[in-house]
A and B are shown apart, each in its own frame.
Chain A
Amino acid sequence: MLNLLLYVFATIATIATFFIVTLPLSVEVQLFLGLFVLVAMQFTKILPGTLGRVTFLTLGGLLVGRYVYWRVTQTVPPIENFYDFVPGVLLLVAELFCILMFFLSALIVSDRYERPRKVQSSDADAPTVDVFIPSYNEDPSLVACTIAAAKNMDYPKDKFRVFLLDDGATLQKLNATDPKAALAAYERSQEFKQICEDLGATYLARERNEHAKAGNLNYGLSRSEGDLVVVFDADHAPAREFLRETVAYFKDPELFLVQTPHFFLNPDPIERNLRTYNIMPSENDMFYGMIQKGLDKWDATFFCGSGAVLRRAALNEVGGFSGVSITEDCETALELHSRGWKSAYVDRPMIAGLQPDTIASFIGQRSRWCRGMLQILMLKNPMFKPGLSFMQRVAYMSSAMFWLFPFPRLVFLLAPLMFILFNMKIYIASPQEFLAYTMTYILAVVTIQSGLYGKLRWPWISELYEYIQSIYLFPAIFSVLMNPRAPKFNVTTKGETLEEEQLSVLAWPYIIVFAVMLFTTGVLVWRLQNDTGQTALLGVVGIWHVFNLIIAGAALGAILERKEVRTAPRMRVHRKATLQLRDETIPVNLLESNTNGLLLQLEKAPAWGNVLGDKGHLTFHPRQPLNRQVEGTGEQEEALDAPGINIRVASQRAGSKGILIGAAYLDTVAARATVSSDVMFADLTIPRALHNRKLTGSSVIAGMFRLTRWALYYGIRIPVLALMSALRAGLRRKPAPVEQDLPESVLSPAE
């Protein structure tokens, strides 16, 4: 009853708010209301807790709601001016979409659920677990590392099995008509079988590559029988604690999913190319640091394809992993939520993975996500799917509709151009109204973004990412809308290298757009001097256009691919070992590691001098035990055995605290993977701590300066580079990049 009364009160108050914001107040009143609310937002922004956050959002929502009403009722061009009306309505729709997404996300993240930690301490009642590592075309050493890390998980050995689900060597692939492809598949299968045998995993390959990843996982389901199923992507190596920290939640018999955040060891291509990885929060931090927690409150956390534990019984109820869309993860969660199953999100990064290395791979990955989520929107629309709660519908709609962002982003890009170049009046407002409504609305949104996501997403970075993706995702959206069932799964390439700095193969559209915007800026300046009747309006639109220009200029920095010679990313580690080299045994500190080798620091001066190219053996000291009480005994978990590996000295130099040795692993892939998994992934405390250090805010103004700096630097450099590159190509008569260089998704988004 009390709840009902509360809801009624909140509803009435909301209706009253609607009445107030729709009052036809003068532009002066609106301006002052906006300014005062913005000031109040600055105060409530610093209030801790949900109450402060909700009040902050309410104030912002007031300005946004007011803007929406004004925008819809006052600013649309009259239909008589048809050539203004059509783009005007498109712009309005784009804005309304963004505002809808704003309200949905505000609703979702306003009260985030901090899930209490549960650890599976007891072995006796631990459920049986099957770990699936689906693979398609990944490098064997990469997959081996994931298998080894999975095998290394802290869990009763008789209660979990690891399966490599190899879709790169199915019977269909082995019998391919292309002999080269068939031979490659055969060699791959042999290699993976050997790795699995060495590491104690089970190798599975099905007959045909049907339903992509979902089909592969379902094959794994059919060949296993554990109570729970864990899915790791081939490049997602789990920490030892993974199962202990997740399976305990399944004591709730209605729970079907525990999802954990994805944690990446390398920067995405935009971070790498703009060199922000070590200072700026990553793109996925907001999703896993905030949105998933918000979804968890409403029991709407969804499966993200990897780093998750699922209940087999629930999967069986829906016939396994769904495969209608190419985002089988979200689709499966949607199906299970609609049948009343629950999900949980554990905000503890326990898998370490890789991001795509090139812009092309990055765009390809995002294109798949985009198309898959739109498939869900069109084929299994959450709004109308029976069985979901209201907030689950809202959550799924929000997640799926987010991927329509290329539409508004491109509309926002083009709208000022329409006015500057063609004098099209697609937004009817006086300069005073722009200030009173639009400017306060924009400031409110920026304030909300900064207040809500400040530590997880720096100002204007979302806009930059969205712009970069939009150029290529827009056609992908269009193709899905035309034929929702057409898209096929494509695997994101990882571990690529670049021998020299070069423009991305996708660079030209960005350069052309930038050039057009630069030209438009010239027209803007000319009109400001000559079209005095519209100075104020030109000024307002000009600011908008210059902002777009800055985004487009900064994006040019992201398409300049930086040199990357490492196939595997380095990680800082903290471990001790003993190095045996030239009959001398020297204690060493492990400083950095990747899947190919280590950087060691000798604790004492050796007798030998230059050992470059020499071979030795490295014995690892036992790592620190996990902070887990063994149930019933009160004793700490025992430290694990120390493995060892043969190495070759690849580099040698003097460090501030001693000699530094770069050691390359020499043993088998499995042995290397075992060591790497233990040294790198067993305990993710250090990378987590390093990552958390980046989660600091940045002011809106600093963000704008940063963006402007990029735009100025790359806006000059990249077009020059492109021009020189084009000239060189012309002189050498070098053919354009062949199609194989481009990601599959870009070539044929609707294949």
Chain B
Amino acid sequence: MKTLYHLKTATCLKAVLVASTLIALPVSAGAQQLDLSVLDSQTEERSTIRRLTATADQLRMEGEQAEIRLAVYAPRDEVLLYRKLQVDYLTAVSTAPEHSSMSIMVNGQPVGDIELNAGAQSSMRSFDLPPGLMVEGFNEIRFIAKHKHRVDCTIPATYELWTVLNPANTGIVFDPGPENSPKVSSSLELLRAVPNDESGATNMRLLQLGTASAGNLDRALAVAQTVAAFGKYHNPDVEISNEPGAGAGLDIIVGTRAELSHAGFAIGEAQSEIPGLAIVHRPDTGRVSLFLTAENRPALDKSIEALKLALQSKPMVGSRLGIAAFENKFGYEIEPGEPVSLAKIGVSSKRFDGRLLRQDFSIRLPEDYFVGDYGKAKLSLNIDALANLSNANRLQVFANGAALASAELTRDGISSRNPLDIPLGGFSPGFNDLRIEVSALTEDDAACDVATGLNGDRLSLDAETSTIEFDALARMRVTPSLSPSDLLPKNPAESRPTTIQVLSDDPKSLEAAAQLAVATAAITQQVRPLAITTASASVGNQPGLIVAPVNRLSGMAREAYLDTLDPERTQGQRSQVARFLGLKSVDETDTSVMASIQRYTGSVWRSIGFKLNSELPSDRSFALQGNSILIAQRTKTLSSKESWVAFMGAPVKQDTWTVVTGLTSDDIKASTETMLREGRLAWLTGDTSLYNATTNRFASERLSDPNYFASLANPSDFRNSRLVVAGLVSHNMLDFVVFMLAFCLVLGFSYYVSLKRSGR
């Protein structure tokens, strides 16, 4: 393994300094050593590669037919150099090579096909890119993989089929030219082209300038958030160091002139539109260094704000498909009440000749979307059956990994005349992953003649006429809540930044905290002011984001953790009634007759199609194990008056603690990285989630009573209030039923008295 570029000496910058700005870099750090045991990095000499903005997990194509659409930003001075698209892949051994292939398209034009062969000697292929195919700005690169199993005709066998692209070696290959010296650029668009490292993560190094104030780290973090939001870098690999990085990635150096000078950086006069900003680009590695400096700290803060505004106002350029791919990176922005065609969301019309059609796409709901079953999303699919399907085929819809709705498939397929209702409660605020699975078994599959079973298309999906439409969404902020937009709790004093509390001797937790902050900024497209505070013994007494090993937690943060170990936490009297009715899950270990009855009742509801409980046990343990992290949010208890005031939309200050903890700092750091790499941050729900990095699964629950804040919605908006009430009811079903019965008695009595006083 070797890096593409080594920054040699500070003298390389001299010419640049003369021409424009400011700074000389100290001696670079050594090349970053990435160990990808499966995906070996193989690059050609004298060329460089612009990798795709995705990790290996995000470049994984599963099932019989899968598709990935990615937006690649081509800077102006690179786009004319692009000549080849290089693809490095690994495919499952179960895949039948004669029936498996991958097609690659750039901006809608096919550029090549690969026969997917697990046993091939070389897994790396490159394709010529016709001149002019790629344009400055965003370009779409699409991979369509088709797999067939060698021997197995069953549906489960389709899950064994996959192809993964090696993020290290997949991308646009070009010759950066003989000039390797860093170039100073005034183009802010370059911040959309920060190259990924070999793992697909966006390395961001926040430079801690010697003994300078920790406040500068806050500012560097703010800049990192701003850049992440601008380039949608949702998988940041944040490092905090006193030296710039060497490989692909981004260095963020923020400080006063004096501080930068003291740290060894030469200062010049900037010619950027942002005072004190300089962007240095190294052609060979693509690494970008962002310098932001000012005379003093208030001026520095102004420059950060100016950068933020400037980036927000930058228009998007590129091909139509490329821009669409970038815009839809965190899901298509859903407008309630308006049907959206799946084609618009990014789904392609296709003919499918396999047994299980899987189609992934993502949508984006408002950040203040109030989760609850008060409405539905209507999925109208037009999928025609092209073969003589058997009677056992189904359509299933998953959102964020959970099965939400299903329907039987007719012999003719599925028509948009029969839309499938998906309960709203299964969606999260913000980004949502959706998956549609349609089985397409024929009678021939029973015999499993692989050769004959592949002779024709079975399904045809028309993405243009297939739509998804959401009912009106309630807008109401709920605390505590673990959606990405609420992960960083707001400071009750609105003008003050959110504090990130870490231990002074725990840099890994600090990096994990920064990583979470930057990732949430990318996903939510919001930059939250942050202030990092450190403590020596334990953390957690103050509200904010607390990231520390479990044995170093204190105060409310520790209570939040201890809460999760209390099995009685979710079992009240009403809960017993709910359990009896099969509305709550039963502990898997409980073998009593009553538990069996409850389990059976629950399964009956599910078999009818009602989602009254999850199939997972509700009193699952949140006890931490290695390679897992617990993320929990708790709030200060509001008085009943405060709750009502908040519900009505008036401002109420409430302290919020978000705790991210693990057994060790290593667990925290590693699990956080895995969670981000797997794109699982948006799957957080409830107020407590345990993420197991080994299994890549969440266990989520709401363990504390929620508070409702109408601050984001207008309480006088009847429509919204109605939806909010419906949402509240959906969370308190039994209470509502009891209320309604009592209400009917009162109503009946009022009618009775009125009747008796009327007529004869």
Chain A interface residues (CB < 8 Å from chain B): 2-3, 6-7, 9-10, 13-14, 16-17, 19-20, 22-29, 31-33, 36-37, 40, 44, 50-51, 54-59, 62, 81, 84, 110-111, 113, 296-299, 391, 425, 430-433, 435, 530-536
Q: Is the CB of A59 within 8 A of B744?
A: yes
22 inter-chain pairs at a CB distance below 8 angstroms, sorted by A residue, are A2-B757, A19-B722, A20-B740, A23-B374, A25-B374, A25-B736, A28-B610, A29-B729, A33-B740, A51-B752, A59-B741, A59-B744, A62-B744, A110-B755, A298-B760, A299-B760, A435-B608, A531-B411, A532-B392, A534-B408, A534-B410, A536-B609
Decide if B408 touches A3 in the complex (CB within 8 Å). no
Given A25-B729, A25-B736, 19 new contacts (CB under 8 A):
A9-B750, A10-B754, A17-B743, A23-B374, A23-B726, A24-B375, A25-B726, A26-B372, A26-B373, A31-B610, A32-B733, A32-B734, A33-B736, A36-B740, A54-B755, A111-B759, A532-B391, A532-B411, A534-B418
CB neighbors of A among B360-379 (8 A): 372-375
Q: Which of A57, A113, A430 contacts B759 (CB 8 A)?
A: A113
CB distance from A218 to the nearest CB of B (A): 31
Contact of A33 among B722, B737, B757, B760 (CB under 8 A): B737
Q: How many angstroms from the CA of A400 to the CA of B610 in the assembled complex?
A: 42
Query: Measured between alpha carbons, how far is A14 from B754 in the docked complex, in Å?
Result: 12
* Closest Cβ–Cβ distance, residue A661 to chain B (whole Å): 51
Return chain B residues, CB-CB under 8 Å to A7. Answer: 754
Please report the C-alpha to C-alpha distance between residue A693 and residue B471 in the assembled complex, in whole angstroms.
56
Using Cβ atoms and an 8 Å threshold, which residues of chain B touch A81? 417
Residue B756 interfacial (CB < 8 Å): yes
List of A residues within 8 angstroms of B743 by Cβ: 13, 16-17, 20
Contacts known (A6-B750, A50-B752, A532-B411); A37 close to B730, Cβ less than 8 A: no
B757 in complex: contacting residue of A6, A36, A62, A113, CB < 8 Å: A6
Is A37 within 8 A of B744, CB to CB? Answer: yes
Inter-chain contact A6/B411, CB cutoff 8 Å: no
Nearest chain A CB to B395 CB, angstrom units? 9
Q: How far is the CB of A31 from chain B (nearest CB, A)?
A: 7
Known contacts A6-B750, A532-B391; decide if A26 and B425 are in contact (CB<8 Å): yes
Contact assessment for A533 and B726 in the assembled complex, using a CB-CB cutoff below 8 Å: no
Are the C-beta atoms of A36 and B610 separated by less than 8 Å?
no
User: CB-nearest residue of chain B relative to A296?
Assistant: B760
- Please tell me if the beta carbons of A23 and B725 are within 8 angstroms of each other in the complex: yes
Residues of A with C-beta under 8 A to B411? 530-533
Determine if B737 and A26 form an interchain contact, defined as CB atoms under 8 angstroms apart. Answer: no
Among the listed B581, B744, B751, which residue makes an inter-chain contact with A40, where contact means beta carbons less than 8 Å apart?
A: B744
Name, among B411, B417, B751, the residue most crowded by chain A CB atoms within 10 Å (CB to CB). B751
In the complex, which of the residues A13, A29, A31 has the most CB atoms of chain B within 10 Å of its own CB atom? A29
B150 within 8 A of A: no
Taking CB atoms, residues of chain B closer than 8 Å to A58 are 744, 747-748, 751
Which residues from chain B contact A59 at a C-beta distance below 8 Å? 741, 744, 748
Given A23-B722, A27-B610, are A111 and B756 neighbors across the interface (CB < 8 Å)?
yes
Nearest 9 Cβ contacts at the A-B interface: A533-B410, A26-B373, A55-B748, A532-B391, A58-B748, A10-B750, A23-B726, A297-B759, A54-B752
Q: Verify A13–B740 contact, CB threshold 8 A.
A: no
Any chain A CB within 8 A of the CB of B745?
yes
**In the complex, what residue of chain A is closest to B740 when comparing beta carbons?**
A33
Interface centre among B734, B741, B747 (most CB of A within 10 A): B747
Nearest CB in chain A: distance from B720 CB, A: 12
Q: Chain A residues near B748: list those with CB within 8 A.
A: 44, 51, 54-59
B84, CB-defined interface residue at 8 Å: no
Q: For the complex, give the distance between the alpha carbons of A9 and B726 in Å.
A: 24
- Quick one: which of B417, B736, B741, B750 has the most chain A CB within 10 A? B750
Known: A26-B730, A59-B748. A113 touches B760 (CB 8 A): yes
Query: Which residues of the other chain, A, contact B608 by a CB distance below 8 angstroms?
Result: 431-432, 435
Question: Do residues A6 and B754 form an inter-chain contact, with CB atoms below 8 A?
Answer: yes
Q: A6-B753, A50-B755 are in contact. Are A28 and B612 (CB under 8 A)?
A: yes
Cα of A324 to Cα of B423 in the assembled complex, Å: 57
Q: Are A536 and B374 in contact (CB under 8 A)?
A: no
B612, B734, B748 interface centre (most CB from chain A within 10 Å): B748
Minimum C-beta distance from A611 to chain B (A): 58
**A24 partner, pick from B374, B392, B747, B760, beta carbons under 8 A:** B374
CA distance A62 to B736 in the complex (A): 14
Q: Give chain B's interface residues, CB within 8 Å of chain A.
A: 372-375, 391-393, 407-412, 414, 417-418, 421, 423, 425, 471, 581, 605, 608-612, 722-723, 725-726, 729-730, 733-734, 736-737, 740-741, 743-760
Query: In the complex, which residue of chain A has the Cβ closest to the Cβ of B725?
Result: A23
Q: Are A535 and B741 in contact (CB under 8 A)?
A: no
Q: Which of A6, A24, A84 contacts B471 (CB 8 A)?
A: A24
Contacts of B425 in A (CB 8 A): 26
Q: How far is the CA of A299 from the CA of B759 in the complex (A)?
A: 7
B412 to chain A, nearest CB (A): 8
Chain A residues positioned under 8 Å from B733 (CB to CB) = 28-29, 32
Contacts of A299 in B (CB 8 A): 759-760
**B749 contacts which of A2, A29, A51 (Cβ < 8 Å)?**
A51
Q: How far is the CB of A347 from chain B (nearest CB, A)?
A: 13
| B408 nearest CB neighbor, chain A only | A533
Collect the chain A residues with CB atoms within 8 Å of residue B408's CB.
532-536
Q: Which of A10, A19, A56, A62 contacts B740 (CB 8 A)?
A: A62
Cα(A94)–Cα(B391), bound, Å:
35
Contacts of A56 in B (CB 8 A): 748
**B752 and A55 within 8 A (CB):** yes
Q: Is the CB of B730 within 8 A of A29?
A: yes
* Minimum CB–CB distance for A659 against chain B, Å: 54
Contacts of A298 in B (CB 8 A): 759-760
The smallest C-beta distance from B703 to any residue of chain A, in angstroms, reads 21
Pick from B605, B741, B756, B757: contact of A50, CB under 8 Å: B756
Instruction: Please give the distance in Å from A398's CB to the nearest CB on chain B.
Output: 15
Q: How far apart are the CA atoms of A13 and B749 in the complex, in Å?
A: 11
Contacting residues, chain A, for B409 (C-beta < 8 A): 532-533
Chain A residues near B745: list those with CB within 8 A: 55
Q: A531 contacts which chain B residues (CB < 8 A)?
A: 410-411
Assembled-state Cα–Cα distance A530/B411 (Å) = 8
CA of A13 to CA of B759, assembled, Å = 21
B145 CB, nearest partner CB in chain A, Å: 29
A26 touches B744 (CB 8 A): no
Q: A7 to B753, alpha carbons, bound, how many Å?
A: 9
> Nearest Cβ in chain A — how far from B363, in angstroms?
20
- Distance, CA A530 to CA B391, complexed state (A): 7
Which residues of chain A are within 8 angstroms of B581 by Cβ–Cβ distance?
32
Residue in B closest to A391 when the chains form the complex, CB atoms: B759
> Which chain B residues lie closer than 8 Å to A425 at the CB level?
417-418
Task: Note all chain B residues with C-beta closer than 8 A to A40.
Answer: 741, 744
Given A33-B737, A50-B756: A430 in contact with B410 (beta carbons within 8 A): no
- Give B420's nearest chain A residue, CB to CB: A430
Q: Tell whether, in the assembled complex, residue B417 and residue A24 are in contact, meaning their CB atoms are under 8 Å apart.
A: no
Question: How long is the Cα–Cα vector from A113 to B734 in the complex, in angstroms?
Answer: 39
Distance of A51 Cα from B759 Cα, bound (Å)? 16
> Which residues of chain A are near B750, meaning CB under 8 Å?
6, 9-10, 13
Q: Which residues of A contact B758 (CB under 8 A)?
A: 391
CB proximity of B751 to chain A, nearest CB, Å: 5
Q: Which residues of A contact B605 (CB under 8 A)?
A: 28
Chain A nearest CB, measured from B581 CB (Å): 8
Q: Which residue of A lies closest to B734 (CB)?
A: A32
How distant is the Cα of A22 from the Cα of B392 in the complex, in angstroms?
37
- Find chain A residues with CB under 8 A from B756 CB: 50, 111
Residues of A within 8 A of B753 (CB): 6, 10
Select A32's contact among B737, B755, B757, beta carbons within 8 Å: B737
Chain B residues in 8 Å Cβ range of A23 = 374, 722, 725-726, 729
Chain B residues whose C-beta falls within 8 Å of the C-beta of A433 in the assembled complex: 421
Chain A contacts for B612, CB-based, 8 A: 28
A432 touches B609 (CB 8 A): yes
Q: Are A37 and B760 in contact (CB under 8 A)?
A: no
Look across to chain A and name the residue whose beta carbon is closest to the beta carbon of B611.
Answer: A28
